[in-house]
Structure formats: C-alpha cells, structure tokens
Amino acid sequence: MRKFIDQNDSGIDALKLYALSVFVLVTVASVMAINVISLTDFVRIIVSCAMLIGIYSLILRVFVRHDVSVLIVIVSLTLLPFLPYMRYVAYLLSAFGLAILLFHKYKLKKYKLLFLPVSLVIILGSGMYSDFQYQRTLLMGTTHIDTFFHAAIAAMYSHYGVASIGLDGLVPIAYHTLSHKIMAGLAILTGFEALAVYAYLFFAMGPLLLVFTLAGFACQFNSRLNFDRALLGIALCMLTIISVPIFSQVAMWDSYFVSESYLVALVIFAVSLTTFIRYVEGGGADLTLLASSLTLLIFAGLAKGSVGLVGICVFGLFGLTKFRTFKYWLLLAIASVFLYFAIIDTATSAKQFIPVVPLHFISSYVGISYHWPIFAKLLLFFTIHLLPVWICFIFGVRKLGAEYFKTNEFQILFALLIPALLFALTFEMAGGAAYYFSSIPVIISLPYLVSNLLNLLNEIKFKHVVSVLILASLIVYPAIVHKSFLMAPVGSQTRNAALLDIVKKLQYIRVNSAVNTIIKIENSEYIVKVVGCNAYWFLPAVAERPIMAGLPNASLCPHLGIGLYGLSDYKQSEKKHYSKDIKVLSVNVKNK
C-alpha cells in the first residue's frame, strides 16, 4: 500500500498543487465575501472540493491515464441522478484518494507558487456571473439571467433526470447540456443546491482546472518545460487577455471563464487533444488512444457544440495527411455520426435564429467605435484576436522553416483556425456567440505559445510577477470589488425586502416539498414586478421544482423572443411531461 501511495507520479504532484490552489482561492474568496458566507458554508465548500479532488486522485492512480479518468468522472457524474445512492460509494473512494494525496511525497518550493497570485487575479478580475457573493446578489436581484437558466437545467436534471428549464413541465431542452448534467451530479454528490454549485464549486475549481489542463498540455509538448512555469505562463497569457483593453475591443473576452459550458468543453477538448497527440507520436499503433480521444471530443461537443464542430476538423486533417487507414477513418466516421446526432437538436432548434450574415461578428463586436470601417475592424480582428496563433506560427517558421508546416502543432492550429473563422465570419449569432468558434484556436494555441517562451518564463522572478499584478489589479479593480464585501447595495430597501420574502418561500419549497411537486404561481405578475423578466428562470432555479404554466407573459415581457433561453422548446412541443402522481402546489408569494 505504501509503495502504491508513494509511487512517483507527476499527475498526483499536479493534483496536490491543484488542491492547494483551490484551498487558497476558496479562502481568499470567502474572506472577500465574509459578509454573506458563513463558516459552515466555508467548511462545506472545502470538504466538497477536497472530496472531488480525492475521488479523481484515486481514479488517476488506478487507471494512470488522464483521458480514462476524465471519461469515468464524466459518466459517473451524469449518471448520479439515476443512481443517487452511488454517492456513498464516492464518499468512501474520496477518503482513499485523499490519503494518496496526503501521503504522496511532494516537495513544494516557493518559486513553484508564482502562478498562484496571477491565477487569483485573473479569476477574481474576470466577469464570471456567479461567485461567492451569490446569496447577496440573489437577494439584491442582480443575479444574471444566464445563471438562473443554467441552474434551472441542472436542478431539473438532478431531481428528475430531464435536462429542462422547467417553465411548463419538464420539456427537454435542445441545448448542449453536458456541463449542466455534470453540475447536477456535483449537486447530488455535495448536497449543495444548483445555484450554489455554480457559485461556489465552479468558481473555486473550474477556472483553475482550465489553467492546469492547458499547462499540462504545454508540458507534454515541451518536456523541458517545468509544470510550475507552464502554469505561470498560461496564467500570464490569460491575465493579458483579461486586463489589456485591446483584447475586449477585438471580441477576445474572458468567456472561457464566464461560460461554464465553454470552460468544461475546453478542458475536455484539451484532454482529447493531448491523448490524440500521444496516438500520433506513437505512430497510430494504439487505437485505444484514438478511440478515447474521439470519445472525449464527443463529450466536448455535448458540453459546447462549437468545440465539437471545430475540433473534429483536427482529426479529419490528420486523417488526410498521416493516417489514411481503414481503421482510423472508421473510428472517425463513427465519432462524426455520434457528434452529429449529439448536436443536431441544438442546431435544428437554433438554426432559424442563426441566419447567414457575413462579417456580422466583426461589424457588431470589433472596434473601439461602431462606425469604424469594416476593413479596419477586420484588420484589428485578424491581428489582435488571433495574436497567439500568429505568434506560434512565427516561432515555428523561424525555428523549422518550411518543415514547420508538417508538424503536429501547425496542423492542429490550422485545422482549428479555418473552421473557426468560417463559422465566426459567416453567421449572425446572438450576443457575440461567434466568439465560441473564433476563440477555440486562440485558447488551444496558449500551450504552444507558453512552450515557445520557455527561456523567458525561466527568467521571471517574484518581483516581476508583483509588478505585473499591481498594474493588472488596477485595471480589473471594479470586477474584484464586485466579488467582495465592498460591493455597494443595489435597489430600494422595499424591493429588496420583497425579494427576500420571495427567495425564502422558494427555498422553503425546495427543502420541504416532495420531489414530485409542481408549482403553480398564483401571482406571477407581482414576481415579475419585483424580480424583473428574469423571474421566469429565477423560479425553477431557486425552488428546484418545475413550474405549471410558467412561460413568460408576452404583455409583461414582450422582448423575450421564443429563441431565448430554451423557450423555443416549449413553443415547438405539446408535451408537458407531467407525472401521473404529480402534486400541484399553489404558491402566492406576495406578502399580505
């Protein structure tokens, strides 16, 4: 047993460093939210994070490979609503996993933590919609509608096994819902409500997980790169994107943190690519690596359709240039069929809202001024938005000349770049969603960029990090304040008191009502008056019960079109998915 625990494994080393990073972030975020977060919640968050890390460490120790471990975790979490008692097995496994971490020999030196303050600034300075202030923002009515939308889906899946927003029964939503199913599994495993899972667990573990995954990718590409330097490099790249204003002006936002589904998809896709690279470097001999990487790609597409659509092109290009074999193309064809059917419902539901409008993304979201000429916007977009990709290409050509175009690095980035630009520059997508195509090659280029900057990263000292952090913190200071007790109150005392009463009643229903309860709101007009039009998603997200006849009232909220936030699924379906033994609970939330 001791030999099993002490076995030298860089993966366990990374997990131990990740656990420390999560603990520091949770502590800092809790101190910043000391006015709203209780000691009990702080302990629950720490215990939940430790349990999740412990489970993964045991799985990784047993199965060795990250790709297999990630697949096991994804499948297990998504099946938990159907096998809820399996959580007790998970608790037992986490104890063994934590023992592995605690007794694993790992020498932690101060210089290995240079990435940590940078990571804290990029997370606290990001535009993430939900954080440790979530209870306060909920009671002030400032929670973003996206948070309610995603939490409602996760809540319905955790209780009923149906990915739905629950506005009028449990009509399945045509949307990429893998991340919601993972969050639902986390809710069952930890006992947190869905909103708290997004606010606490995702905030504490999600962004750091992306940083660590990309750093591992960089180390695989360049064996001379130390993991702690790779972490520092990835964190500094993300800090640059978040804090330098020019990137937001070219639509290179921090949505890789803000969007839970996109972050989950990027993490899974990065693991898929590292597995595929091992397959390529092994000469295509191990088909299990190919099968595993393709399976992960499908899961990435289930988390965010854009990642699946763009990512499959990497496998297609390598099939044309290196692997013209029947077995390779058979597996690729099977994966393509699965990926197609995995996202076809989403595409079918959304296609009427995604017309072909060339350069809409550029004309609407790029440039300091809306009135800039389109040529200037295009030049700015191609120069700055895709800057990390161009830097990688320049480094590669300078080092290898024409031979660079035959390398795995170039083929991967090129295979991502072309379809990403094709989608982003061809279609009109609401809310700048074309970003979820155009930014994919940028994010995946970061590990290659960091590995090319090895010598520079080795020269970075503590004083350099401090100087950068001071400047960056001044730029993102408003976002940091928003996540702290310094955030100013919003709304009138009368409105906030009314909202507090509504939230308390809905939370009481969540805790005390039977799972087969469906809520009939008697005075939805009053709730809309207090909460705003977000109320329709606010209700199932907070109460975690489906609503009867809860679709938006067109006279109260005329701006809510049927293409927004899952409403089109109710417009297109006559099925309400009411159970035979359903209990209708009439609720009047207005104070008398």
> What is the spatial distance between Cα 211 and Cα 64, in angstroms, rounded to a whole number?
21
Flag whether 59 is in a domain. Answer: yes
Shared-domain flag, residues 497 and 465 = no
Two tokens, residue 282? 């092994």
Give the mean model confidence (pLDDT) for residues 539-564.
83
Flag whether 161 is in a domain. Answer: no
Two tokens, residue 229? 């330097």
> What does the pLDDT read at residue 575?
52
pLDDT tier at 580, thresholds 50, 70, 90? low
> What is the spatial distance between Cα 266 and Cα 258, in angstroms, rounded to a whole number?
13
Give the mean model confidence (pLDDT) for residues 77-92.
95
Output phi, psi for 518, to 5 deg: -120, 135
Flag whether 296 is in a domain. Answer: yes
> What is the spatial distance between Cα 16 and Cα 39, in angstroms, rounded to a whole number?
24
Residue after which a domain boundary falls, among 437, 471, 505: 471
Flag whether 165 is in a domain. Answer: no
Residue after which a domain boundary falls, among 415, 438, 471: 471
Shared-domain flag, residues 450 and 507 = no
- Asked if 470 and 548 touch (Cβ cutoff 8 Å), the reply is no
- Residue 561 pLDDT greater than 60, yes or no: no
- Residue 506 pLDDT greater than 70, yes or no: yes
Shared-domain flag, residues 536 and 426 = no
> What is the spatial distance between Cα 480 and Cα 29, in angstroms, rounded to a whole number?
10
Q: Assign 587 to helix, strand or coil.
A: strand
Flag whether 287 is in a domain. Answer: yes
Q: What is the pLDDT of residues 355-404, one digit of tens each?
A: 888 999 999 999 876 678 899 999 999 999 999 999 999 999 999 999 99
Shared-domain flag, residues 222 and 307 = yes
Flag whether 417 is in a domain. Answer: yes
> What is the spatial distance between Cα 361 and Cα 413, in angstroms, rounded to a whole number?
21
- Residue 4 pLDDT greater than 50, yes or no: no
> What does the pLDDT read at residue 393?
98
Shared-domain flag, residues 502 and 451 = no
pLDDT tier at 185, thresholds 50, 70, 90? very high
- Asked if 210 and 263 touch (Cβ cutoff 8 Å), the reply is yes
> What is the spatial distance between Cα 177 and Cα 162, in angstroms, rounded to a whole number?
10
Residue 356 is given by DSSP the state B
Give the mean model confidence (pLDDT) for residues 282-306.
96
- Residue 576 pLDDT greater than 60, yes or no: no
Shared-domain flag, residues 228 and 325 = yes
- Residue 491 pLDDT greater than 70, yes or no: no
Q: What is the pLDDT of residues 295-325, one digit of tens each?
A: 999 999 999 999 999 999 999 999 999 999 9
Output phi, psi for 356, to 5 deg: -80, 110
Shared-domain flag, residues 397 and 450 = yes
Shared-domain flag, residues 458 and 507 = no
In single-letter form, the type of residue at position 417 comes to L
> What does the pLDDT read at residue 348?
57
pLDDT tier at 522, thresholds 50, 70, 90? confident
Give CA separation, 112 vs 11, 58, 489, in Å: 16, 24, 39
Two tokens, residue 461? 């000292």
Shared-domain flag, residues 304 and 446 = yes
> What is the spatial distance between Cα 220 and Cα 548, in angstroms, rounded to a whole number?
52
Q: How far apart are the first and last CA of the chain?
A: 64
Residue after which a domain boundary falls, among 421, 437, 471: 471
- Interior/surface letters 368-404, b for 16+ CB within 10 angstroms, e for the rest: eeeebeeeebbebbbebbbbbbeebbebbeeeeeeeb
> What does the pLDDT read at residue 8?
44
Shared-domain flag, residues 467 and 497 = no
Shared-domain flag, residues 409 and 457 = yes
Q: State the average pLDDT for the chain.
A: 90
Give the mean model confidence (pLDDT) for residues 267-291.
97
- Residue 549 pLDDT greater than 90, yes or no: no
- Residue 592 pLDDT greater than 70, yes or no: no
Whether the model clears a pTM of 0.85, i.e. scores above it, the answer is yes
What's the domain count of the chain? 2
Flag whether 169 is in a domain. Answer: no
Range(s) of the domain holding residue 521: 493-587
> What does the pLDDT read at residue 9?
66
Q: Which residue did the predictor score with more confidence, 139 or 496?
A: 139
Give CA separation, 220 vs 11, 217, 281, 543, in Å: 12, 5, 11, 45
Flag whether 15 is in a domain. Answer: yes
Q: Which helix (H) or strand (E) holds 281?
A: helix 260-281
- Residue 249 pLDDT greater than 80, yes or no: yes
> What is the spatial distance between Cα 440 and Cα 305, in angstroms, rounded to a whole number?
12
- Asked if 403 and 372 touch (Cβ cutoff 8 Å), the reply is no
Shared-domain flag, residues 321 and 402 = yes
Q: What is the pLDDT of residues 44-63, one digit of tens each?
A: 999 999 999 999 999 999 99
With pLDDT > 70 as the criterion, what percentage of the chain qualifies? 92
